[in-house]
Amino acid sequence: MAARIKPMFEALAKERQIEHGGTAPGKGKNTVGKFAKSEPVHSRDEAAKALNVSSRTVHSAENVIIKARMISFRQSNLARFRCPTLH
């Protein structure tokens, strides 16, 4: 479940990046004064916290989903190229 909601947190992180793009390294600063350095936020950690699991569990679940999609893709391609007379 956490692996499936991670894209939502990634989208929120992307919005934060766009919002703070004016102060990114290599760009001119459009603000005056010193700011406290904030800790990076990882979408995997946010998804894990939302569902009360570890971030390692989220990572493992993502790998399971990826491998399942690969197996499904391979099986669908094999089924497409099977000889109909051998069924």
User: Residue ranges of the domains in the chain?
Assistant: 41-87
Residues 6+ apart with CB under 8 A from 10: 43
Prediction pTM value? 0.51
What are the pLDDT tens digits along the chain (87 aa)? 777 778 888 888 788 777 766 565 655 555 555 655 666 667 888 888 888 899 899 889 889 989 998 998 888 877 777 656 554
Q: Taking the CA of residue 8 as centre, how many other CA atoms within 13 Å lie in the half-sphere pointing to its CB? A: 9
- Give the residue from 49, 55, 28, 25 showing the smallest Cα distance to 37: 25
What pLDDT, on a 0 to 100 scale, did the predictor assign at position 27? 57
